[in-house]
Amino acid sequence: MYSDTIADLLTRVRNANQARHKSCDCPSSKHKIALAKVLKDEGYISDYRYIEDPKKKQGTLRIYMKYGPHGEKLIQKLIRVSKPGRRIYRRMEELGKVMDGLGTTVLSTSKGLMSDREARKLNLGGELILKVW
C-alpha cells in the first residue's frame, strides 16, 4: 500500500525514462489517468492506456514513453511539488514559469488537472502537483 500514489507513478515514469523503456505500468485511478492526459497533451509521453484487469479492481495504467529522434530523453526532470504532508497552492498571478517556459507545471484546479498554460488562459489557480521539463 502506498501513501502517495502520485509520487509512485512519477517514480515509475522517471525510472522507465532513465532505462529508456517503451512503456511503464502502474495501478490506475482517475487522478492518474488525468495526469497522464496532461503529460500527453504537453508532449512528454506518446500515449497512455487503461487496461482492465479482472483480478484487480482498479486496473492498470500503461504509459508509453516518448523520446527524441536520436533517442534523447524528453523528460529531463520530473519533480513532485505538493506532497501529502505539505500541500502547496498558488493563485494564477503567482504561477511562475518552469525553465523560462520550456517546462510545465501541472495543477489541480476546480476544473480538474491541467497545465499551467491552460490554467493561465482560464484564469485559475490551484494545487501544484508536479513540475516537468
Alpha carbon distance 114, 118 (integer Å): 6
Among the listed residues 56, 97, 40, the one whose alpha carbon sits nearest the alpha carbon of residue 48: 40
Looking up cell 523560462, which residue turns up?
Answer: 100
The CATH number for 21's domain is 3.30.1370.30
User: What single letter denotes the amino acid at residue 30?
Assistant: K
Structural domain span for residue 65:
5-132
The model's confidence at residue 2, banded by pLDDT at 50, 70 and 90, is low
Q: How many domains does the chain have?
A: 1
Q: State the pTM of this model.
A: 0.92
User: What single letter denotes the amino acid at residue 70?
Assistant: H
> Which are the contacts of 2, defined by CB distance < 8 A and separation ≥ 6?
8
- The residue ranking higher by pLDDT, 58 or 126, is 126
